[in-house]
Amino acid sequence: MRIPFDLAETVALVVAEGTFDAAAARLHITPSAVSQRVRTLEDLVGQVLLVRSKPVRATAAGEAIVRLARQAAQLETDARAALGIGADETASVALAVNADSLATWFLPPLARLTERHGVVFEIHRDDQDFTAGLLETGAVLGAVTSQRRPVPGCRVTALGSMRYRAVAAPSYAARWLPDGADAGTLERAPIVDFDRRDELQRTWLRSHGVVSAPPRHLVPASHDFATAVLLGLGWALLPTFQADDALARGDLVALGGEDVEVPLYWQQWNLRSPLLDAVAEEIIGEARRALDPPSPDAVSRR
């Protein structure tokens, strides 16, 4: 049995667009024709590929089909480029990255790539602990992640570590932590979290003996997150290269305690793709310049 690529591409497009109607508009066919293609492939492989929800989601079997479709599309793009076909066409590369990297060092290498290649980027932002999951589903070709173990079918390279420091505005520290950041005051002092999955501050709190959750503000944008700390809404752990200037100016004060290091890795599909390799080279090079050096045992693995 062979999997028809046109049917696999249709499944991938439904997942990307979220609805059968939107996929039909992209394909210039009717929604019923899209539904028929999906059912044909489901009958062929003997498994349900899509959860008919809003938005539509891929099942585990559907994720395998999406990966196949997107890997095939990337290989076709590379082959067309090698043959000199469609030289004026623009390739699309989907990547996943954590918010702090996106706000600091991640975009300059992408800008350089657009100067040399006909490429546009689809950026998926998520916590570094979850970006690898987007590789597993086939949503992206590469990801900045805290996961060291390679996702099946991917290769991984150590990028370095983001260093975080606990900081607050001077007025906030004077109000909430007048005698320093001890467990008793930290239990009551409001914090700023990125979202409900943000574990960074809670990990730091546990290391200081705080077991109960203090009040928290949720600010799900990296720049606005830092601004909230500067304005005194709460304390937080900020990347050192995002906080250093404000600390030097006195706009922020350090709360003490050890910095938190978050090792980051680059994972990408194990394809021999000139474009994807060029993307990896730029991102890895920029990360090595911007981040703390990777630990000696954080090596590239296949």
Q: What domains appear along the chain, each with residue ranges and CATH number? A: 1-69 (1.10.10.10), 162-261 (3.40.190.10)
d(CA 124, CA 133): 11
> What confidence score (pLDDT) does residue 230 get?
97
Residue 246 parent element (H or E): helix 240-249
How much of the chain is helix, strand and coil, in % rounded to 5? Answer: 45, 20, 35
Closest CA to 7 of 56, 41, 54, 58: 41
pLDDT at residue 86, as a whole number: 64
In the numeric block, the tokens 């899209």 are attached to: 34
Cis? peptide before 296, omega within 30° of 0: no
pLDDT digits (tens, 9 = 90+) for 47-102: 999 998 889 989 989 988 998 888 888 888 778 777 677 656 778 899 999 988 99
Nearest Cα to Cα of residue 70 among 34, 39, 90, 94: 94
pLDDT of residue 299: 42
Residue range 257-293, pLDDT digits in tens: 888 899 999 999 888 788 899 999 999 999 999 999 8
* pLDDT score of 250 more than 50: yes
Query: Quick one: pLDDT at residue 23?
Result: 93
User: What separation in angstroms does the CA of 5 have from each of 9, 15, 69, 268?
Assistant: 6, 15, 7, 22
Radius of gyration (C-alpha) of the chain in whole angstroms: 22
Q: What is the pLDDT of residue 294?
A: 67
Which two three-digit tokens encode residue 186? 């930290």
Mean pLDDT across 150-168 = 92
